[in-house]
Amino acid sequence: MIRKTVSGVTEALVDIKDNMTFMLGGFGLCGIPENAIAELVKSNVKGLTCISNNAGVDNFGLGLLLQKKQIKKMISSYVGENDEFERQMLSGELDVELIPQGTLAERCRAAQGGFPAIYTPAGYGTEVAEGKETREFDGKMYVLEHAFKADFAFVKAWKGDEAGNLIFKGTARNFNPCMCGAAKITVAEVEELVPAGTLNPDHVHVPGIFVQRIFQGKNYEKRIEQRTVRKKQ
Amino acid sequence: MLDKNGIAKRIAKELQNGYFVNLGIGIPTLVANYIPQGIEVEFQSENGVLGMGPFPFEGEEDADIINAGKQTITTMPGASFFDSAMSFGMIRGQHVDLTILGAMEVSEKGDIANWKIPGKMVKGMGGAMDLVASAENIIVAMMHTNKAGESKLLKKCSLPLTGVGCVKKVVTNLAFLEVTDEGFKLIERAPGVSVEEIKNATEGNLIIEGDIPEMILD
């Protein structure tokens, strides 16, 4: 067994530097690497390019990095719910590349799986396809989209083991598995870190080969963006 | 004239047994409340769940189980969770039978604009571009005119496009229309709405053939 465990978030992020490109898992605030984000805020690294489906909210998630102006460029599919983001984008302080959500996932997966690029129908005929190669297959038009290149992927899972194997819970899975192994170094934080041999290999969602560092995270807030409920009869 | 729930109710009549359906945010979400009796459908949410159920009971909400609108949800028996790449594989691979989404503008060619107002609103396209580029069957749910009273069914969209030539049907507060090679074909009128009113509210080419029936909602 090849051990991937590190002592905690500080050791896991020891070699992050200014101007790096990071992938961050999560959909809205669901399944985001809360510990890694807190450490990035603390470390004060700047000039970052962040690949993440969303940009957090004003006072949580990637919004915390935006507040401190640590992010130079965001690559996302949906960035509502964040006033500071909107302000920085409209003022030109922040460079923003908006791309279709499925394209974002597939550009991660291409990087993970050794494809330099993929063809997708998403965005054909729109401004997303401007300047990109397009091609017809069986009478339908597709856009060439390149695999991402990133220095670190920060992902969050529910359970993990010493070998870096990961299991996710509910819709907190989202982009996290696609980003594992898609960057030079993948750092996984988990709610529960267990000894190797504890997880049933049949139940593993992401094999440890895609994860370089794993640690048990602390103090998860798991904020809910839209608390929608119904009354008990 | 229909309200938002009326639009959802009419669209729900387009559901067929065994359909996998993706519902967009806004009016489309309401369609889940009007599934016709005797029909089984499963709702997909692109953040990674198939078999989405109603909102949880108070106190049972789980931060790890949400829909694409970031709302807390529950799952139905037979539900599954998956990652974003697989989720969009379902969509691009046309395993999802029907997509229902809102729009700011639709053109007579079936183009749709719903993600950006330059200089004003830039929230991003989310999954909308993947959905409209891939789905075989797309129904748009929207008001016939904007707040200024201008038609949203146009010859050509003025806003940045989300997809080209993809919309098949449009249900508005005034009418049910199909997008054909010649333009918007009027299929049904909303209750109490005249053909004349629909004509006046439609900028794109409107095709009216014979008597146009009024919608039956129940």
Domains within chain A, CATH numbers bracketed: 9-114+147-216 (3.40.1080.10)
Backbone angles phi, psi at B128, to 5 degrees: -60, -40
A3 pLDDT tier (thresholds 50, 70, 90): very high
- Quote the minimal CA–CA distance from B98 to chain A in Å: 17
Task: Report the distance separating Cα A178 and Cα A171, nearest Å.
Answer: 14
Residue B88's pLDDT band, with cuts at 50, 70 and 90, is very high
- Displacement of CA A102 from its chain's centroid (Å): 13
Better-scored residue on pLDDT, A171 or A233: A171
The answer to whether residue B136 scores a pLDDT higher than 90 is no
Q: Could you tell me the pTM of the whole model? A: 0.96
Portion 72-111 of B in contact with A at CB < 8 A:
72-73, 81-85, 87-88, 91-92, 111
Contact residues on chain A for B162, CB-CB shorter than 8 A: 126
Parallel/antiparallel/unpaired status of strands A48-51 and B175-180: unpaired
pLDDT of residue A94: 95
Give me the mean pLDDT over the A45-65 stretch.
Answer: 96
Mean of all residue pLDDT scores within chain B: 96
**Alpha carbon A95 to chain centroid distance?**
18
Residue pLDDT, tens place only, A88-119: 988 899 999 999 999 999 999 999 999 999 99
Residues in B closer than 8 angstroms to A121, CB to CB, are 92, 133-134
Which one of A98, A122, A223 has the shortest CB-CB distance to B124? A98
The interface predicted TM-score (ipTM) is 0.96
Among candidates B118, B111, B77, B95, which has minimal Cα distance to B21? B95
Percent of chain B scoring above 70 in pLDDT? 100
Asked if B211 has any chain A CB less than 8 Å from its own CB, the reply is no
Domains, chain B, ranges and CATH?
A: 4-207 (3.40.1080.10)
**A74, A159, A171, A232: best to mutate for the B interface, most B CBs within 10 A:** A171
Taking contacts as CB-CB distances below 8 angstroms, the residues of chain A near B49 are 170-171
* A positions 200-219 inside 8 Å of B (CB): 205
Local structure of residue A210 (DSSP, 8 states) = G
Query: Is A78 within 8 Å of B125 when comparing Cβ atoms?
Result: yes
Amino acid at B208: I
Residues of B recognised as catalytic:
46
Residues B95, A73: Cα–Cα separation, whole Å:
34
Q: What would the mean pLDDT of B35-53 be, rounded to a whole number?
A: 96
Interface of A with B in 182-201 (CB under 8 A): none
Give me the DSSP letters along B144-206: SB-TTS-BSEESS--SPPSBSS---EEE-SSEEEEEETTEEEEEEEPTT--HHHHHHT--S-E
Phi, psi of A194 (to 5 degrees): -120, 160
Contact B145, B169 (CB under 8 A): no
CA separation for the pair A180, A167 (Å, rounded): 12
Q: Which residues pair with A187 in a beta bridge?
A: A154, A213
**Tokens (6 digits) for A125:** 């005929």
Q: What is the pLDDT of residues B206-217, one digit of tens each?
A: 999 999 999 999
Cα–Cα distance for residue pair A211/A164, rounded to 1 Å: 6
**Structure confidence at residue B118 (pLDDT):** 87
In this predicted structure, the answer to whether residue A233 has a pLDDT above a threshold of 80 is no
